[in-house]
Amino acid sequence: MNIHEYQAKELLQKFDVATTRGKVASTLDEAEQIARELGDVEIVVKAQIHAGGRGKGVFKNGFKGGVHVRKTHEEVREVAAKMLGQTLVTHQTGPAGRVVNKVLVAQSAEIAREIYFAILLDRESAAPLIVASSEGGVEIETVAAKSPKKIIREAIDPLAGLQPFQTRKLAKQLGFDSSQLKSASKLFEGLYRTFVAFDCSMIEVNPLVVTTNGDVLALDAKFNFDDNALYRHPEIAAMRDVAEEDPREVEASKHGLNYIGLDGNIACLVNGAGLAMATMDIIKFYGGEPANFLDVGGGATEEQVTEAFKILIADKKVKAILVNIFGGIMKCDIIAQGIINAAKTVKLSVPLVVRLEGTNVERGKQLLKDSGVALIAADDLADAAQKAVAAAKRK
């Protein structure tokens, strides 16, 4: 689940992580009022969408840039008028862009230095890990490729937590002046408390800045949360902005389905994330293009299978559907009956290729054969992929 920049600021402020003053606005009057409250300072207006590259983006109304600095509340209102309700296109949104429904109006910071700082879960150690660099404001992948020695890593004991000596060491390694060590250490400690309190899998601050006045601030932060822990944080779940998400993914999540839309024309319905990845790979291997990732899980119900089919055929680019099921916990005959009922319910208009393997596979295949549903049976995954690619080309 992603959250907006203004929401990230709100979470950081709960743990005294220093950041710039500001609030979110959804109307021109709100934007102007916030600017008035900030006083006689330079003010930055930032479009709030779930995509990077906002500063270099272009609105479809011709206005350039989703990040602007202004000096008066009148100018802030003027900029907000060109952003709110308009579609911003960046390198991450694709040509369709995203509609800007909110803008962050905040005090602008006079930056002297930019730093990269992140806390994430390290899979190898199964513990939190700090990744930092004195080279902030750019993609950390670029720094890692060009200057790997500038990447600092600090492991955190999950029981002891982030220790004061570690925050001081990190501050010194990142080049903070002696006068800034205390504020930098406090900010690092606050970020870690935020990470733990909200069951985060990642907090990335880029940039973390030192201002010309010597203040240490977290200017922009990105959060990733452990979805399995969201039930403990209704306040975080409430931050979800479904308007920023693919409607198909939103619908899938309502039915416990893991769906990610892609650009191909062969829809996939698979049980198990690993098998779903392998299915997409083999479709590509035989010259096709997968239209989605869809994992119905190991215990899919007939209702879930039906809803999955509805989501798949709603994609107008889909020319064929490939169902690849390995019956383990879920028996093949139960899945087969679900496929039959779902296919009849949604009235499929594209070729359906089905590959079943596992528990009660022969019973499942017989059910499909006797169902009267127009489908293409496949003996194995390679056969299924080839038949799906061929069917999509004929459609």
The catalytic residue positions are 116, 204
- pLDDT at residue 304 in the model: 84
Tokens 């383990």 locate to 328
Burial class (CB in 10 A: 0-12, 13-18, 19+), 107: middle
Q: How far is CA 267 from the centre of its chain?
A: 21
Same fold, 21-107 and 246-370: no
C-alpha span between 281 and 39 (Å, rounded): 56
CATH 2.40.37.10 fits 246-370, yes or no: no
Q: Where are the domains of the chain?
A: 21-107, 111-238, 246-370
**Predicted local confidence at residue 138, as pLDDT:** 67
Is the four-CA dihedral 327, 330, 333, 339 of positive or negative sign? negative
- Say how far apart CA 279 and CA 381 lie, in whole Å: 7
Residue-wise burial string across 192-224, b where 16 or more C-beta atoms lie within 10 A, e elsewhere: bbbbbebbbbbbbbbbbbbeeeeebbbbbbbbe
Q: Please state, in angstroms and rounded to a whole number, the distance separating the CA atoms of residues 132 and 126.
A: 19
Fold of 111-238: D-amino Acid Aminotransferase; Chain A, domain 1 (3.30.470)
Which of the residues in the chain have pLDDT under 50? none
How many CB atoms sit inside 10 A of residue 37's CB? 12
pLDDT at 253: 86
The CATH number of 21-107 is: 3.30.1490.20
What global pTM score does this model have? 0.76
Cβ-based neighbours of 290, under 8 Å, separated by 6 or more = 262, 264, 266, 267, 268, 279, 280, 283, 284
At 386, list the tokens: 């080839």
Q: Which tokens in the block code for residue 134?
A: 């004195």
| pLDDT at site 146 | 80
